[in-house]
Structures are given as structure tokens and as C-alpha cells.
């Protein structure tokens, strides 16, 4: 699940996202990877939409199906509960690798057409490509996929895994849509990323992971000391 934080600058918007499908899965005792029933997943997203006053962006992984019509229907169901946009990826869930570039472009076209026809013309499709997780030399294919996806109806491109500043700058310069990258060690400073041409920045489950580690450490300390005093220390 993701929240978008938008920073207004002279050059336009810089957006920071907390896109965390893993957080929802983890809260229910599941691993990441479309293991939750989609209806249950959607109910949790709707609860967030109904209780915050900012746009909510939903991570729906690869669409919770291998079937184009079902994925499209799932996107419409997500739009119907009031989210502002989605992340949808080109990774395959039932086998290794990425969806064929042409087929994924056709999927994005079908999704965009369905959204437009149902009154969701401003709905944001953040097309995630996992080239940097699956390819040894991913830059060329990333550029190809990025532009096919934009031409097919995506609003922007999400490239998790890229950390090289020159490659980020090249992707941003040669893609006709906003570039979204993912926080990793050495790739954390929003101001520098904006200089490279990045428009959206996601930090996934990094914050919640730190909170969980903190809670586990304190719970262990309480058990060992048989004393809750540390809960009241400044």
C-alpha cells in the first residue's frame, strides 16, 4: 500500500511514495507475492482510503492473475474504492522472468482503455519493470520497456533496483514519463535524485522494518529483565 508525499519545487513536483504491498501481507501473516485473496487485500486498501485525507496509491503486484481480463477487472475494482493510482509490475509470479514486452504493453493499453471508459482518466498507472532484478545488463532493456509502457498508456515508470546515478539520469532523460526509483543503501537523498531527473521515490517496507526490529529488541529486553521500566524511559 502506498502514500504519495508531494514536494512542490520550482521545477515541478517531486513525489515520495511509501508503496508497501509487503506491509499488508506481513500484517496478515503472509509472505509477499500475491498470496492474499484479492478481495481481502482490497478491503484493507479501502479502509485506508476511507480514513486518510491524502491520495492513496495501491501496489497490486502483477495484477493478481495471469489473465489479462482478470487483471483489468482487478484494476477497475481498485479504482472503484477510491485510490489515486496503482503500481503494476512486469514480473511473472508463477515462473521466473518478466512478461513479454509486447504482451505487457498490450495489457497496459487494455487497462488504460478500461479506466478511461469508466471515468478514471486521471488514474495513475505506475508501470514497474523488474529488469534490474532479472537482467545482468539491464539498462538497454529498461529503456525499451519504459518507452513501450508509456506509449501503451502508463503514466510513469518505476525501476526498482537501479542505483547507478548515470544510469538513473539516462533513464530519466530518455523516458517520456516520470521516473520512480526505489530507496537502497547509497540511494537515499531526495535532493540528489531530483537533480538526476527522478520524480517519484519509494522506500517500501524499510521504515516498517525498522519499527519491527525496535519492537522485537524491546520485547526481548523486557522478557530478559522481567521489568517494563524501559517503556517509560526518555
* Alpha-carbon distances, residue 6 vs 3, 16, 129, 173, 196 (angstroms): 10, 6, 23, 21, 17
pLDDT in tens, 8-25: 444 444 444 444 455 565
Of the candidates 144, 141, 146, 57, the residue with the CA atom closest to the CA atom of residue 108: 146
113 and 229 part of one domain: no
Q: What is the CATH number of the domain that holds 66?
A: 3.20.20.60
Q: Are residues 45 and 137 located together in one domain of the fold?
A: yes
Task: Write down the pLDDT at residue 119.
Answer: 97
Can you tell me whether residue 2 is helix, strand or coil? strand
pLDDT, tens only, 57-76? 999 999 999 999 999 999 99
Q: Cell digits for 153?
A: 498508456
Q: Report the SS3 class of residue 177.
A: coil
Residues 194 and 219 in one domain: no
Q: Which domain holds residue 123?
A: 2-203
* Contact in structure between 88 and 75 (CB atoms under 8 Å): yes
The pLDDT assigned to 14 comes to: 44
Same domain, residue pair 165 and 227: no
121, 86: one domain: yes
- For residues 142 and 89, state if they share a domain: yes
Residues 51, 19 share a domain: yes
**Number of domains the chain is built from:** 2
Cα dihedral 150→14→185→24 (10° resolution) = -70
Q: What is the pLDDT of residue 19?
A: 43
- For residues 183 and 211, membership in a common domain is answered with no
Instruction: Give yes or no: residues 189 and 92 share one domain.
Output: yes
Range with the poorest average pLDDT among 34-38, 50-54, 84-88 = 34-38
| Same domain assignment for residues 212 and 129 | no
What gap in Å lies between CA 226 and CA 224, rounded to an integer?
6
Strands 2-9 and 12-19: antiparallel
Q: Which of 163, 192, 164, 198 is nearest to 179 (CA)?
A: 198
My answer on whether 21 and 41 are in the same domain is yes
Distance CA 36, CA 24 (A): 9
Q: Taking a C-beta distance cutoff of 8 angstroms, is the pair 142, 134 a contact?
A: no
Amino acid at each position: 500500500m502506498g502514500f504519495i508525499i508531494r514536494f512542490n519545487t520550482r521545477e515541478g513536483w517531486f513525489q515520495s511514495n511509501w508503496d508497501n504491498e509487503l506491509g499488508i501481507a506481513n500484517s496478515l501473516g503472509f509472505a509477499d507475492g500475491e498470496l492474499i485473496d484479492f478481495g481481502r487485500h482490497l478491503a484493507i486498501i479501502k479502509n485506508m482510503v476511507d480514513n486518510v485525507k491524502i491520495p492513496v496509491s495501491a501496489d497490486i503486484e502483477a495484477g493478481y492473475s495471469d489473465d489479462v481480463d482478470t487483471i483489468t477487472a482487478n484494476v477497475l475494482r481498485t479504482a472503484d474504492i477510491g485510490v489515486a493510482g496503482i503500481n503494476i509490475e512486469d514480473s511473472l509470479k508463477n515462473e521466473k522472468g518478466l512478461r513479454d514486452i509486447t504482451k505487457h504493453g498490450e495489457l497496459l493499453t487494455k487497462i488504460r482503455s478500461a479506466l478511461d471508459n469508466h471515468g478514471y482518466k486521471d488514474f495513475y498507472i505506475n508501470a514497474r519493470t523488474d529488469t534490474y532484478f532479472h537482467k545482468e545488463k539491464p539498462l538497454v532493456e529498461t529503456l525499451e520497456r519504459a518507452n513501450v509502457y508509456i506509449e501503451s498508456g502508463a503514466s510513469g515508470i518505476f525501476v526498482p533496483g537501479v542505483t547507478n546515478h548515470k544510469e538513473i539520469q539516462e533513464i530519466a532523460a530518455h523516458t517520456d514519463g516520470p521516473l520512480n526509483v526505489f530507496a537502497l543503501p547509497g540511494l537515499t537523498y531526495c535532493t540528489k535524485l531530483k537533480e538526476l531527473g527522478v520524480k517519484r521515490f519509494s522506500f517500501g517496507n524499510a521504515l516498517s522494518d525498522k519499527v519491527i526490529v525496535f519492537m522485537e529488541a524491546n520485547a526481548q529486553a523486557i522478557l530478559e529483565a522481567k521489568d517494563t521500566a524501559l517503556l517509560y524511559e526518555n
